[in-house]
Structure 1
Amino acid sequence: MTRMFENLTWLDDRVLLRDLVFRIEHARNDNNWDLGDRCFGFYKTKALVDQYERFWSARDFRPKHMLEIGIWDGGSAAFWWEHLPLEKLVAIDLQDRNDSAYFREYVANNRLEARIKTHWQTNQADRARLRRIVDEELDGVVDLVIDDGSHMYAPTKAAFETIFPLMPPGGLYIIEDWAWEHDAGFQDPSFILGSDEGLSRLVRELLEATGSSKTLIRSVTVYEGFAVIERGEDALAEFHLDDHITRRAWRSDEAAPQRNEDVKLIAFYLPQFHPIPENDQWWQKGYTEWSRVTRGKPLYDGHYQPHLPERLGYYDLRLAETREQQARLARAYGVYGFCYHYYWFAGRRLLERPLDEVLASGRPDFPFCISWANETWTRRWDGGDKRVLLKQTYSPDLDRALIDDLAPFFHDKRYIRVNGNPMFVVYRPLDMPNPYATTQRWREAARANGLANLHLVAAITFGLPDPRPLGFDAAVEFPPHMDDMLDLRCEVPGLDPKFDGNVCDYTRMVDRMLSRPAPSYRRYRTATPSWDNTARLRHKATIFHGASPAHYERWLRELVQQARLTDPAHRFVFVNAWNEWAESAHLEPDRRFGMAYLEATSRALAP
C-alpha cells in the first residue's frame, strides 16, 4: 500500500522532499546550519506526521479547496500542497510579514500563483474577513481546514463557527496542537500563552455537540497532535456551537443559584437601540445607536474598528423577543441583572419604551435596577458642538417627582434590592446643586410611595469624593472614569495625523484600577471589557488600546474575589457595559471575538 508521506527523507535537522528542504524548527541548531534562508521553516515533528499517516491511510478523502490557518513562512502550505490533490489552497496568518523568498520561488517555479494564496495580518477571530476570504478565494466552499493558528480557545472557536457552515458533508476541520496546555513544559504562567485558555475545552464541546445533534458532526477523531471534526449533514445558516449542545437541565439549575447567591454581576445597559422623535429631529430620521456604530474607522495600524454585532445582530429594543434573547444570553454566562440607564429631564423621559415594556409585560424575568443618567444632552455627546439639546434641571419638587416616576419600577419583584431597599444609581451626583438635600427628599418620597428606604449608589465619575456626606449609601466605579489618564497614554503605529484624542494602554488601566486601595466607604467595583469611542468622536476619541478577553477576565476575576470577602448583602460587581456599542464597551458578541467576552465573564465568576 502506498504511504502518503513515503517520499519524505528525515534527517536530524531537516526533512527533504525532492529538491525542497524543510528545516525542523524543534531541532534547530544555527551553528550547524548550512543553507541560510534556502529552506522552509517546519514545525511538524516526525511523530506528528506519523499520526497524520495513520489518519489519512484510513480515509479516501480528496479535498479540492483547503484553508490553512497559521503558516509561519509558508512551509506547511507547500508541505500540504505536495501531499494532497488540491485545486486551491488559501493560507492566513496573524503575523505582520510577507511570503519568504524561498516560498515565492516555490510558487513561481511551479506556476501556482493562481492556486496558492496567502493573507498575512489576518486574525482567525475576524469572522467577517475570514468569510470574505473564503467567498472571494474559494467560491464560498472549503473541503479541508488545517488550523494551526492561535492555539487559543476563543479565536479558534470563532474560526470554526465561521468556516464549518461553509463545508460540505464529509469536509474535515483539523485542529492541531489541541492538547498543548496539558504538556508539562507549558505549566509556567509566564509562558507566552500562560494566561489564555487552550483548546481542550473546545474539543470537549465538539464532542458534546456530536452527541447532542447527531447530524451536525459525523465524527470527532482525536490524536495526540490533532483533532479532526468531520462535517455532518445539518444545513447551517448562522452557526453557534453552544446552540447545538444539550446538557441535563437539572445540573445547570442546581449550579445557577449557587453562583447568584455568591457574587451578583450587574451589567450597565443602554436603551438607545430604537428610534425616537427627538433623535429624528436632532440627528437624522431613524437615528439609533447603530447609526454611529457602523461609521467607526480604524485610526492606526491594528485598530479594531468598527465593532459590529454578531449573534444578536442590529437589533431593535422595541421587540420583546430581542429583550428576551439578551436576558437568556446574559443569564447563561453568569450575568445576574441589568442596570438600565434612565433618561429623565424634569418629568420628560427619553428612550423609555424598552424599560416601560419590561415593566408592563413582566418579561424578561430577569433582575434589573436603574441608573439615572442625569447629564445635559448636547451635540458634543456624539461628536458635534456644545449646543444644548435637552438641559437637566433640579428643584425640590422635581426631586420628589423623580421618585414618584420610579416607584412602579422599585416595587417590581424583579428589581434588585439591598437589604430590602431598591438600588438606585446616579451617574453624576456632583451635578446636583445640593446632593444631600436631594437624597433626603428621595428617601422621604420613597416612604410616601410605600417603600421602607432606598439604597442610593453614586457613580465614581468626575471627581466624586466620599459619597456618604452627599447622602449616598455606596459608590460604584465607572471605568474608564479615573483621576488621571495622562500617564496611561501609549504609542501606536501608523496613527492618523488628524487624531487629537487619547490612546491609552488598557492593561495599565487594569493595573491602575486593581491597585486602588479600599476606601472607608462602601464601594462596588466595575470592569469594562474595552473602551473606544471612535464611533462617536472620531479624531477626538479616547481609545484604550490592547483590550482582550484575557485581560478583561483577569480584571473581573480579581474583582469577584474581592467581592467574596465583603458582606454577603453587598456582593455586587458591575460591568460597563452590556451593550455600549459606540464606545466599544459590550459583552454582547461581536464579529471579531464572538462569545469570548461572555465566556471570560463566566470563567471569572467560577468559584
Structure 2
Amino acid sequence: MALFRLALQPKAPFITRRYPFRGRRRMLEVLGPDLARPVGMRAEDGPPEDSAIGRIFETTGDIHKLRHYLPIYEQALGHTERMLEIGVDRGGSLQMWRQYLPDATIVGLDINPKVTQYDDAARDIHVRVGDQTDTAFLSSVLEEFGTFDTVLDDGGHTPHQMITSFQYLFPRLKPGGVYIVEDVCANYWTPYRDQPESFIDFTKWLMDAMHAHYMQMKSVFHLMEGHPKRVREMQVPLAATIIDRIEVFDSVVVVHRAKDSKPLPRASFS
C-alpha cells in the first residue's frame, strides 16, 4: 500500500486523543555522551543498489516504499509459499510479490472495498476486504486460505492496528514463518499514535517474553546439565516458546517463529 495512508482510508480510526512520542530526552540520557553526540545525517540520492527485487520494484507501478526495505524483504521472504499482506491500496505491491514470488499464494487485505478490483484468482492473487483489527475477519481469512508462512503488515500504521493484528496472527503463523511489520516510524508521529503504547514498545515486551523463563530462575544451576537443581519444566507465556528471534531495522520489525516449540535452554561446562 502507499506509505502512511491513514488519511485516505474511507473509515479511518476515530482518534479522540493522540499520544506524541516523549522519550527523546530520556533516550539521549541513556545513550551517554558519546552515543548521544550530535552528528550530521545526510540524504543519499545516488543510484539505488541493484537487486532482483529492486528491479521488480522499479518496473512495477503504484508502489510506495522506503528503498531500504527491499534488501530486508530479500532476506526475510526467501522461503515464502503463502503470503498475507495487510494493506493493498493501489495493488502495486501485490504485483511485485507476484513477480518476486512466482510460486507463492498471495493474499491481500484492506479496509477499502475498491481494492477488490485487484483480486486475480487466476494468478493466485486474492484480495479480501475487512478491518485488520477484526479477529473474526482474520479468522475467516485463515479458514479460507489456511496457514500463512509470511505476514507483512503494511496496513493502517497505528499502534492499535499493528499490535492487534500481530497478537492474533503470529500465534497462528506457520512454524518457521516470518512476520514483518513495516513503517513503524509512524509510531513516532502524533497523527498515527492512537494509544500510549506503540509497536516499538510492544516489541520490547516481546523481547522480554523471549526471556520469560529466566525471570523465574535464581541461578545458572537451574540450567546446568546433570545438576540436582536443574529445572525440568516451568510455566511460561506461549510467546517464549514460539519466538525464535526478533530483528529490528530502521522502520521495520521482523519476528521469526520457531520451527518447533522451544525447550528450556541448558548450560554445560566443557
Instruction: Name the SS for the 1:175 alignment partner.
Output: strand
Q: State whether structure 2 residue 75 is matched by structure 1 residue 66.
A: no
Deviation at 1:181, TM superposition (A): 2.5
Question: What's the CA shift string for 1:218-248, capped at 9, x where partnerless?
Answer: 000111131111112339xxxxxxxxxxxxx
Question: What's the CA shift string for 1:545-590, capped at 9, x where partnerless?
Answer: xxxxxxxxxxxxxxxxxxxxxxxxxxxxxxxxxxxxxxxxxxxxxx
Query: TM-score scaled to structure 2, two decimals?
Result: 0.60
Between the aligned partners of 1:73 and 1:203, the Cα distance in structure 2 is 29
Alignment of 1:104-183 (within 5 A): 107=120, 111-112=122-123, 115-120=124-129, 122-136=130-144, 138-139=145-146, 141-182=147-188
Q: Given the superposition, is the C-alpha separation of residues 131 and 234 from structure 1 closer, same or farther in structure 2, using an over 3 Å criterion?
A: farther
Deviation at 1:153, TM superposition (A): 2.4
2:253 counterpart (204, 227, 248): 227
Alignment of 1:310-349 (within 5 A): none
Instruction: Name the SS for the 2:55 alignment partner.
Output: coil
1:48 counterpart (50, 59, 69): 69
- Greater Rg over alpha carbons, structure: 1
Q: Given the superposition, is the C-alpha separation of residues 229 and 85 from structure 1 closer, same or farther in structure 2, using an over 3 Å criterion?
A: farther
Matching residue of 1:7: 55
Deviation at 1:85, TM superposition (A): 4.5
Alignment of 1:229-308 (within 5 A): 229-232=255-258, 233-234=260-261
Q: Given the superposition, is the C-alpha separation of residues 153 and 45 from structure 1 closer, same or farther in structure 2, using an over 3 Å criterion?
A: closer
Given that residues 69 and 146 in structure 1 are in contact (C-alpha distance below 8 angstroms), is that contact kept between their aligned partners in structure 2?
Answer: yes
Question: What's the CA shift string for 1:388-409, capped at 9, x where partnerless?
Answer: xxxxxxxxxxxxxxxxxxxxxx
Given that residues 158 and 194 in structure 2 are in contact (C-alpha distance below 8 angstroms), is that contact kept between their aligned partners in structure 1?
Answer: no
Matching residue of 1:217: 243
Instruction: Name the SS for the 1:92 alignment partner.
Output: strand
Alignment of 1:506-517 (within 5 A): none
Between the aligned partners of 1:179 and 1:207, the Cα distance in structure 2 is 19
Given that residues 64 and 85 in structure 1 are in contact (C-alpha distance below 8 angstroms), is that contact kept between their aligned partners in structure 2?
Answer: no
Aligned partner of 2:176: which letter?
A: G
Given that residues 153 and 201 in structure 1 are in contact (C-alpha distance below 8 angstroms), is that contact kept between their aligned partners in structure 2?
Answer: no
Unaligned regions of 5+ residues in structure 2, if any? 1-49, 213-238, 263-270
Unaligned regions of 5+ residues in structure 1, if any? 10-14, 23-40, 236-607
Deviation at 1:86, TM superposition (A): 4.0
Q: Given the superposition, is the C-alpha separation of residues 6 and 157 from structure 1 closer, same or farther in structure 2, using an over 3 Å criterion?
A: closer
Matching residue of 1:496: none
Deviation at 1:216, TM superposition (A): 1.9
Deviation at 1:194, TM superposition (A): 4.5
Instruction: Name the SS for the 2:115 alignment partner.
Output: coil
Higher RCO (CA 8 Å, separation ≥ 6 residues): 2
Aligned partner of 2:250: which letter?
A: E
Between the aligned partners of 2:172 and 2:51, the Cα distance in structure 1 is 30
Query: TM-score scaled to structure 1, two decimals?
Result: 0.28
Deviation at 1:135, TM superposition (A): 1.0
Between the aligned partners of 2:140 and 2:85, the Cα distance in structure 1 is 15
Question: What's the CA shift string for 1:102-150, capped at 9, x where partnerless?
Answer: x46xx48xx31xx211012x111111110111111x22x1100001112
Given that residues 172 and 231 in structure 1 are in contact (C-alpha distance below 8 angstroms), is that contact kept between their aligned partners in structure 2?
Answer: yes
Q: Given the superposition, is the C-alpha separation of residues 178 and 86 from structure 1 closer, same or farther in structure 2, using an over 3 Å criterion?
A: farther
Question: What's the CA shift string for 1:178-200, capped at 9, x where partnerless?
Answer: 23223xxx3xx4x3x24445321
Q: Given the superposition, is the C-alpha separation of residues 219 and 123 from structure 1 closer, same or farther in structure 2, using an over 3 Å criterion?
A: same
- Percent identical across equivalent pairs? 25
As a proportion of its length, which structure holds more strand?
1
Q: Given the superposition, is the C-alpha separation of residues 231 and 224 from structure 1 closer, same or farther in structure 2, using an over 3 Å criterion?
A: same
Q: How well do the aligned residues superpose, as a CA RMSD in angstroms?
A: 2.6
Given that residues 66 and 86 in structure 1 are in contact (C-alpha distance below 8 angstroms), is that contact kept between their aligned partners in structure 2?
Answer: no
Q: Given the superposition, is the C-alpha separation of residues 196 and 64 from structure 1 closer, same or farther in structure 2, using an over 3 Å criterion?
A: same
Matching residue of 2:207: 207
Alignment of 1:424-503 (within 5 A): none
Aligned residue pairs total: 185
